[in-house]
Amino acid sequence: MAIIIGLAALVCTFLGGYFALRFKDKLHLILGFSAGAVVAVAFFDLLPESIELATKTYDISSVMLLIAVGFVLFMIMDRFFLLHFHNEEHCENPSHRGQFGALTLALHSFLDGLGIGLAFKVSPSIGWVVAAAVLAHDFSDGINTVNMVLKNCGKPKDAFKWLVVDAIAPALGVASAYLFTVSESVLGLILALFTGFFFYIGASDLVPESHHRHPTFLTTVMTILGMVVIYTAIRFAG
């Protein structure tokens, strides 16, 4: 059953990315939605899951510290290792920044799949709860992956390649759960680190980029809509 859910996550992710590629002329609106979706996933999914799992062994201050470490770590890599200047008319450098962001999203998707697999090993009922939460935001994961590449000067074919990687990642995560065991508390710490990553991607990258050279009203509405949709989906799934 976990493998079937992993394949369902693959389909949901791919459909989200295809949507972003198909309507890339409305990229600023999609970016606005993606910004809200990324922040909402961090607030309403990754953060509570990391606290719930990690605090079974570690105190909450350790979880919050790792969230901050994730934020700072991504900021350092972004500014000092991935930095390149670009605008919509002139993009001379390869999209290393976008590719790194897409890789981070793919790693998150892998952990989603891993979480599904591990949850089913503990209990089918827990597995279904985790699976529902993952499937609730996999569509937006596909959108976010494509947007991360396109807005950093990546070509549509590059975005598609990373979409394939991100779509396959949860299925691989589910399969890998049968090869080794990770304690719930350690998984919680990993999720805390990725919470920090997502806070940075959403607040410092997608939100400013979404209204760059565009009226802010519609993009702001789309950002709020992205948060509402993800919150509603997670609440419904939970």
Return d(Cα 160, Cα 184) in angstroms, integer. 33
| Overall pTM surpassing 0.85 (yes/no) | no
Q: What is the pLDDT of residue 87?
A: 46
Do the Cβ atoms of 86 and 212 come closer than 8 Å?
no
Return d(Cα 44, Cα 227) in angstroms, integer. 9
Radius of gyration of the chain (CA): 17
Q: What is the pLDDT of residue 69?
A: 96
Site of tokens 């935001």: 137
**Helix segments in the chain, DSSP class H:** 2-22, 27-41, 47-54, 60-76, 96-122, 124-150, 156-176, 184-200, 207-210, 216-237
Return d(Cα 115, Cα 112) in angstroms, integer. 5
Q: What is the pLDDT of residue 120?
A: 81
Ordered per-residue pLDDT tens for the chain, 238 residues: 667 887 888 888 888 888 878 876 776 777 788 788 888 888 988 899 889 989 999 999 999 999 999 999 888 877 776 544 444 445 555 457 677 778 878 887 888 788 788 778 767 766 776 676 677 667 777 887 887 787 777 788 888 888 999 889 988 988 888 887 778 888 889 889 888 988 887 887 677 766 665 667 888 888 899 899 888 887 876 6
Return d(Cα 207, Cα 103) in angstroms, integer. 19
Q: What is the pLDDT of residue 126?
A: 64
Number of structural domains (the chain) is 1
Q: What is the pLDDT of residue 225?
A: 93
User: What 3-state class would DSSP assign to 200?
Assistant: helix
Cα angle at 38 between 6 and 53, to 5 degrees? Answer: 60
Return d(Cα 46, Cα 145) in angstroms, integer. 17
Cα dist from 8 to 3, 104, 165, 173, 235, whole Å: 9, 21, 15, 13, 20
Cα dist from 51 to 43, 128, 170, whole Å: 11, 20, 22
Domain extent for 138: 2-84+92-237
Return d(Cα 117, Cα 181) in angstroms, integer. 10
Q: What is the pLDDT of residue 211?
A: 65
Q: What is the pLDDT of residue 186?
A: 86
Q: What is the pLDDT of residue 70?
A: 92
Q: What is the DSSP letter of 70?
A: H
Q: What is the pLDDT of residue 83?
A: 46
Return d(Cα 124, Cα 127) in angstroms, integer. 5
